Amino acid sequence: SAVISQKPSRDICQRGTSLTIQCQVDSQVTMMFWYRQQPGQSLTLIATANQGSEATYESGFVIDKFPISRPNLTFSTLTVSNMSPEDSSIYLCSVDDAGSQYEQYFGPGTRLTVT
């Protein structure tokens, strides 16, 4: 299975600022996904990022708030823009495992607190 790392692992940010989260995978993958997990809740998909194309956002999430880059097959970034306390969550990067049909693997997450 793919090994996924995220930076930073956690951060505390002021409202109104932006944070960029990095996701690095140890192998080339076609599809990368960004999820949000609010306190005590399950995972909600923010967007799907394919290399070379615009990210596809789920209902309730917009590019201006959560811009995503996917410059190559092993790396992606998610930016949380103009943050408010409601953005305090764990943000998770996930990838499809090319060797295992339809399975997804997750990074360790970035714990964001907005004050």
Partner 1 sequence: EDQVTQSPEALRLQEGESSSLNCSYTVSGLRGLFWYRQDPGKGPEFLFTLYSAGEEKEKERLKATLTKKESFLHITAPKPEDSATYLCAVRGGNTPLVFGKGTRLSVIA
Residues in contact with partner 1 by CB under 8 A are 1, 4, 33, 41-45, 48, 90, 92, 94, 100-109, 111
| Cβ at position 2, least distance to partner 1 in Å | 10
Question: Nearer Cβ to partner 1, position 19 or 107?
Answer: 107
What secondary structure, in 3-state letters, does the chain show?
CCCEEEECCEEEECCCCCEEEEEEECCCCCEEEEEEECCCCCCEEEEEEECCCCCEECCCCCCCCCCEEEEECCEEEEEECCCCHHHCEEEEEEEECCCCCCCEEECCCEEEEEC
Nearer Cβ to partner 1 (39/85):
39
The least CB distance from residue 22 to partner 1, in Å, is 15
Q: To the nearest whole angstrom, how small is the minimum distance from the Cβ of residue 5 to partner 1?
A: 11
